Amino acid sequence: MAKSKQSEYHSEDPNELFSSNVERMLRLIGEDPKREGLLKTPQRVTRAWKELTSGYEADLDSLINRAVFHETYNEMVVVKDIRFYSMCEHHLLPFFGTVHVAYIPNGKIIGLSKIPKLVDVFAKRLQVQERLTKEIATTLQNKLHPMGVGVVIKARHLCMEMRGVQSEDSPTITSAMLGAFRNDARTRKEFLSFIQGDR
């Protein structure tokens, strides 16, 4: 698991500890971790969770700083339909959907491929959709100091669809509007028109 967590386990290997806890969980739900189909499940789950939570180890400064360029362009930049998958911190079940990101440069632009990578870094942590939305927006705001940033996320939550109310076809939409996107209704409307249509 995350290297920063290793000190919490002293001399124990975090991967082995995680696998042993998965095996214990299997027993607690009434399964036999020694049956053929489950023999390697603890190790598989450990590897899967290492990937699903890899955002904790990411170096945001390294990711972003090397891809920021000085440019006089000052019109809206929109990257839409970024697919993401994350884990809800309340039930450890997936939520997933699309992210739309826009910003208006103020002397600096960022390499376009870095925006989906930024989304991925924050998505690969235990999350709630509201915080994920805000983290993407504030990071771009702090790193680029643009005239404004807009982020909209539409997602399905399996904690709603698989358990509890079992509400299907009820996506959750969140937004974060900073700078011009918050203060100027026309800018906000233009962004929303881009992500709702095929312009």
Tell me the catalytic residues: 88-91, 129, 157, 159
DSSP codes joined into one string, 169-189: S--EEEEEEEEHHHH-HHHHH
Token code pair at residue 57 = 């180890």
Return d(Cα 193, Cα 45) in angstroms, integer: 41
DSSP codes joined into one string, 121-155: HHHSSEE-HHHHHHHHHHHHHHHH--SEEEEEEEE
